[in-house]
Amino acid sequence: MKYIMFSKDNCPWCVKAQELLQGDVTISKVKDTVSMQRELYYLHISAEDIDNAVTVPQILQITDEGRAVYIGGYEDLKRSLTPKKKTVFNANNTGHENSDYPLFLGDQLGFIDTINSPYPILDTLYQAQLSQIWNEFEIDLTQDRQDMMNASPSIVDLMVKTILWQHLADSIASRSITGILMDYVSNSDLEAWYNCVALFETIHARTYSHIIKQTFSDPTEALREGYADLSVIKRSDILKNSFDDLGNLPMDASLEEKEEKLFLALIALYMLESLNFMSSFAITFGIAETGRFQGIAQDVALICRDEMLHAQGGAEVLKIEMKRKPELFARLAPKITELFDAVLATELEWTDYLFSEGRQVIGLNPKRIKEYVMYMAQPVAVTLNITTEVIKENPLPYMENYIDSSKIQVAAQELQLTSYLVNSVLPATNMSKCLADLREGARV
The answer to whether 67 and 4 have CB atoms below 8 angstroms apart is no
pLDDT of 426 above 80: no
Q: Is the dihedral of CA 338, 388, 289, 308 positive or negative?
A: positive
- Per-residue confidence at 416, pLDDT binned at 50, 70, 90? very low
Q: CA 207, CA 414: separation in Å to the nearest integer?
A: 28
Strand 2-7 versus strand 25-29 pairing type: parallel
Exposed e or buried b per residue across 318-335, where buried means at least 16 C-beta atoms within 10 angstroms of its C-beta = bbbbbeebeebbebbeee
Q: How far apart are the first and last CA of the chain?
A: 42
pLDDT at 330 exceeding the cut of 50: yes
Question: Does pLDDT of 415 surpass 50?
Answer: no
Per-residue pLDDT band for 231 (boundaries 50, 70, 90) equals confident
CATH classification of 2-81, choosing from 3.30.1380.10, 3.90.650.10, 3.60.110.10, 3.40.30.10? 3.40.30.10
Give the pLDDT of residue 413: 34
Q: Cis peptide leading into 57, omega within 30 of 0?
A: yes
| More confidently predicted of 72 and 232 | 72
Range of lowest pLDDT (29-33, 132-136, 357-361): 357-361
12 touches 263 (CB < 8 A): no
Q: Is the pLDDT of residue 419 over 50?
A: no
Say which residue, 82 or 280, is predicted with more confidence.
280
Q: What is the pLDDT of residue 23?
A: 72
Fold match, 2-81 / 120-443: no
Phi, psi of 345 (to 5 degrees): -60, -40
**What pLDDT is recorded for position 85?**
79
Query: Is 411 exposed, middle or buried (CB count within 10 Å of its CB: 0-12, 13-18, 19+)?
Result: exposed
Cα-Cα-Cα-Cα dihedral sign, residues 84, 86, 92, 98: positive
Q: Where are the domains of the chain?
A: 2-81, 120-443
Question: If you ran DSSP here, which 8-state letter would residue 423 be given?
Answer: S
The torsion angle over the Cα atoms of residues 148, 152, 155 and 159, rounded to 10 degrees, is 10
pLDDT score of 35 more than 80: yes
- With cut-offs at 50, 70 and 90, classify the pLDDT of residue 431: very low
Mean pLDDT on 160-168? 91
Domain 120-443 has CATH 1.25.40.850: no
**263 pLDDT higher than 70:** yes
Give the distance, in angstroms, between the CA of residue 102 and the centroid of all CA atoms in the same chain: 18
Q: How far is residue 211 CA from its own chain's centroid?
A: 25
Average pLDDT of the segment spanning 309-333: 94
For residue range 118-162, list pLDDT tens digits in order.
Answer: 999 999 999 999 999 999 999 999 999 999 999 999 999 999 999
pLDDT in the model for residue 421: 32
Assess whether pLDDT exceeds 50 at residue 423.
Answer: no
- Confidence class for position 227, pLDDT limits 50, 70, 90: confident
- Position 64 scores a pLDDT of 74
* Long-range CB contacts for residues 194-200, cutoff 8 Å, separation at least 24: 196/126, 196/129, 196/130, 197/129, 197/310, 197/313, 198/173, 198/174, 200/129, 200/132, 200/306, 200/310
Kindly report whether the global pTM for this prediction surpasses the value 0.85: no
The confidence band for 437, taking pLDDT boundaries of 50, 70 and 90, is very low
Tell me, what DSSP letter sits at residue 413? G
Confidence class of residue 404 from pLDDT cuts 50, 70 and 90?
low
Choice between 227 and 292, residue whose per-residue pLDDT is larger? 292
Mean pLDDT computed over 97-112: 92
Give the pLDDT band of residue 86 (cuts 50, 70, 90). confident
Question: What are phi and psi for residue 60, nearest 5 degrees?
Answer: -125, 145
* Closest-CA residue to 201 (of 167, 162, 235): 167
